[in-house]
Amino acid sequence: MSKNKLPEWARSENVRWAFWGWDPLPYYRRLGGMKEWYFGNNRWMEEWWDRIYDPDTVKMMADIGVNMIVPQFYKGAGLKFETDLRGKLNPLIENCHKHDIRVVGYTQLGTIFPESMKLEEPECPEWTVREYNGDIKLWNYYRWRKCCNQPGLISYMKKVIDVGVEIGIDGFHFDNAAMFPCYCDRCRQGFRDYLTEKIKTPERMWITDFRAVEPPPPSSGEHVRDPMEQEWLRYSCEKGAKNIGKLADYIKQINPELLVMANTAFPRYEKWSREFGIDPAVYGKKVDFMVAENVNFPGFERGKLTTQIEAFSFADAIGFEVFPASWVQNYENGKVDVISNSAQAKMAIAEPQIWGSAPGIQHGLRTVGGSSVVIDDPEIAAGYGDYIRFFDQHKELLRDARPFAKVGILHSFDSLTLGGHEVYMSSSGIQLTLISANIPYRFIMESDLSVLKEFSVVLVANLLCLSDATCERLIAFAHQGGRLYISGNSGKYDENFLERRENAFACLAGYANVAFFPDVPEACPEVGAIDFKICDWLGTEINLPPRHEEVAKEIRSLLGNDNFIRVGAPASVVVTPRMLPNNTLALHVLNYDHANKVDKVEVELRLSLAETACTLFNPDRNLEQKVKIDGIAGAYTISFRELETYQVAVFKLA
């Protein structure tokens, strides 16, 4: 899909969504507090469930500005089994539509509940993901992972979609939509067919006929060098995108106004492709939105900045939008938590909004005991409502906005998939370095290098596995005056991890516009194992590289006169420039420290302005004012005073 094909109502400047109880009430009981710690093990769940389906709750959320909700529709226990649950959904849909609220049904894609499903669909065991030894892959003992490569399952999910359309649902939120590598008979045969079609040089696998090939076992090493294993990972990702595409196409054929969302646990940690079968550059083109569910709730705690900027940047480069469904890390008990103050509520709206993704009230209707919910706190409700109203009133700051950046980070699927941990630590480190230094950047997908011309500097951060074609394009970029940052073993291996006799970029030695850093200064530091309670959410702990200031200095040096922005502010402040239509620039300023305001932020700009004044918006003070910009031609300073959560300055470029 593409942002250009989004239904108008679902564009990020129009939609404000809310969680509405994604799981059925009985399932929360069955969980027993296993996962979402504040659900399940209490005696008030029925009160909470009645509260979120109450018409007064719908009106309360509509008054705040919510215009799309995601309630429970189908959990994977069987259409017949879940009939009574849908009975409660019907009046909710009717009530929401009266308030102009769209209803996107939570639809479980990744698991089935065999205890009930086998009674309705006896063949459902054939729909399961199989481990290498043939066992069914479990979520837990009463939930099985589904293999979406099964025609029977795809047909069944189309029936689920038909039921949703019939009861008036406005779209589908497919949860657990990662397509895990699977060793069922169909996937094994699909792999053989893939090899026959794709592999033009089978001799590297010491085979010429793939009809008897068996897939390799799951990867256990840091690097993936076995050519059969490499192709197995590529096949798994291609298969996953193809199958979510079948469902998305079916939905859009029914009605192109219906929304397609997918939660793939992206970006959560480094094993996207190996464990989840996800290549975002391919998968992201099949859906309208990808849900970023992780513990990257925006904040600044213990001197550490946490953001969803990585997710937003991928979405911008690939063409989908993001629904951030992030949780708050509780560092004291190692659990995930809900928001607790109005600054967090404001941030939940502002951060995705300025990045061109859909803001939401992920935490608002979570239970805090009895029928009470988070948004019953008047300050939190006001924080959500005030910011939704601000952005509703100023959609001109959002519509068709694009990142304004001269720095591009090259993303290589082969490098991340085959190179694993060390590539991930460099990729994460270079992003954190740029964010902390307030150097704007965008991703460049290796699959679309036509955008290279849009950048002054391209960062190639320890990308181990790059094809000849990619290296040639980067070398040509340097020959034409583009500047390159090349670190670690970038250029040493081709896309199949075959070592080159000479590094592909050796021909650029001595070029003034190319900087080599073989010691990988941008890599995140290695830390000890994190608390097991949240390892499923965090994976590898990511911290700012110790040499981040040195790396930022080198990148600014490469930028030279294209280094158009410098920010004077505490480490909790991130400034995001976005280009609007008609040569208008918006400077969005966010303070991620929810406990402390910032007295002053100074932004130095080396740009040509049409006039030495800007319009400054401060939603925390409900202010809109014309402000003089200090400086001389080509060098200006804009000051932001008493920054609580968010401010934005808008001005015309010459």
| 3-class secondary structure, 174 | strand
Choose the weakest-confidence range: 45-59, 298-312, 466-480, 529-543: 529-543
pLDDT value at 573 more than 70: yes
Q: What would the mean pLDDT of 263-274 be, rounded to a whole number?
A: 81
Q: What is the pLDDT of residues 213-236, one digit of tens each?
A: 999 999 878 899 999 999 999 999
State the pLDDT confidence band at 38, using cuts at 50, 70 and 90.
low
Mean pLDDT, to the nearest integer, of 576-582?
96
Whole-prediction pTM value?
0.94
State yes or no: pLDDT of 53 exceeds 70.
yes
- Residues near 415 by Cβ (< 8 Å), separated by ≥ 6? 423, 462, 463, 464, 465, 466
Q: Which of 14-23, 273-282, 437-446 shows the lowest per-residue confidence on average (mean pLDDT)?
A: 273-282
The CATH fold of domain 564-652: Immunoglobulin-like (2.60.40)
Q: What is the arithmetic mean of pLDDT over 626-638?
A: 91
Give the pLDDT band of residue 3 (cuts 50, 70, 90): low
Angle formed at CA 44 by CA 41 and CA 48, multiple of 5 degrees: 115
DSSP string, 337-353: E---SHHHHHHHHHHHH
d(CA 569, CA 544): 17
Show me where the domains of the chain are located.
Answer: 3-109+150-185+240-399, 404-561, 564-652
Can you tell me the mean pLDDT for 413-428? Answer: 94
pLDDT at 37 over 90: no
**For position 369, what pLDDT does the model report?**
85
The whole-number average pLDDT for the span 325-347 is: 86
User: Taking 70 as the threshold, does the pLDDT of residue 34 lie above it?
Assistant: no
Confidence bin at 200 (pLDDT 50/70/90): confident
pLDDT digits over 83-129, tens only?
998 998 999 999 999 999 999 999 999 999 999 999 999 999 999 99
The pLDDT, as a whole number, for residue 271 is: 77
Q: What is the mean pLDDT of residues 272-283?
A: 88
Mean pLDDT (whole number) for 578-604? 97
* Residue 255, pLDDT score: 97
Q: Containing H/E element for 45?
A: helix 45-52
Dihedral, CA atoms, 455, 459, 463, 465, nearest 10 degrees? 30
Q: How far is CA 387 from the centre of its chain?
A: 22
Domain 404-561 has CATH 3.40.50.880: yes
Question: Is 404-561's fold the same as 564-652's?
Answer: no
- Run of H or E including 459: strand 457-461
Q: What is the pLDDT of residue 531?
A: 43
User: Helix axis angle, 421-436 relative to 309-318, nearest 10°?
Assistant: 100
Distance, CA of 346 to CA of 622 (rounded, Å):
14
Angle at 83 between CA 78 and CA 84, to 5 degrees: 130
In the predicted model, what is the mean pLDDT of residues 365-378?
Answer: 92
Q: How confident is the model at residue 535 (pLDDT cuts 50, 70, 90)?
A: very low
- Nearest alpha-carbon partner for 464 in 513, 509, 428, 427: 427
pLDDT at 541: 66
Cβ contact 374:365 at 8 Å: yes
Confidence of residue 532 (pLDDT cuts 50, 70, 90): very low
Alpha carbon 381 to its chain's center: 25
Residue 375 is encoded by which pair of tokens? 């948004």
> Count of CB atoms within 10 A of residue 245's CB?
17
Per-residue pLDDT at 438 = 97
Tell me which residue has tokens 């790396």: 551
What are the Cα distances from residue 299, in Å, to 414, 584, 590, 592?
32, 29, 10, 5
- The average confidence (pLDDT) of the chain is 92
- pLDDT value of position 335: 72
- Alpha carbon distance 215, 240 (integer Å): 16
Question: H/E element holding 604?
Answer: strand 598-605
* Model confidence pLDDT, tens digit, residues 448-495: 999 999 999 999 999 999 999 999 999 999 999 999 999 999 999 999
pLDDT for the residue 39: 59
On the question of pLDDT at 35 being above 60, the answer is no
pLDDT of residue 651 exceeding 70: yes
**pLDDT of res. 530:** 47
pLDDT bin (cut points 50, 70, 90) of residue 180 is confident
User: In the β-sheet with 613-618, what is the strand arrangement from edge to edge?
Assistant: 402-403, 573-580, 584-591, 646-652, 613-618, 623-628
Q: Residue 187 has what pLDDT?
A: 97
Give the pLDDT confidence score for residue 1 in this predicted structure.
55
Q: Of the ranges 78-82, 277-281, 634-638, which is most confident?
A: 78-82
Calculate the alpha carbon distances from 424 to 59, 545, 630 in Å. 45, 13, 41
**Percent share of the chain, pLDDT over 90:** 80
Mean pLDDT value across residues 149-161: 97
Higher pLDDT, 253 or 329: 253
Q: What is the pLDDT of residue 222?
A: 87
CA distance 82 to 70: 17
pLDDT higher than 60, residue 586: yes
Residue 540's pLDDT band, with cuts at 50, 70 and 90, is: low
User: Residue 16 above 90 pLDDT?
Assistant: yes
- In this predicted structure, the answer to whether residue 529 has a pLDDT above a threshold of 50 is no
Q: In which region does residue 72 sit, left (phi positive, over 0), alpha (psi from -120 to 50) or beta (all else)?
A: beta
pLDDT value of position 334: 67
C-alpha to C-alpha distance for 587 and 312, rounded to whole angstroms: 17
- Whether residue 441 is predicted with pLDDT greater than 80 in this model: the reply is yes
Domain spanning 3-109+150-185+240-399, CATH class: alpha beta
CB atoms within 10 A of CB 436: 17
Residue in 174, 170, 10 with CA at minimum distance from that of residue 89: 170
Q: Does residue 591 have a pLDDT over 70? A: yes
CB atoms within 10 A of CB 226: 16
* Listed range (190-204, 245-259, 374-388, 440-454) with the worst mean pLDDT: 190-204
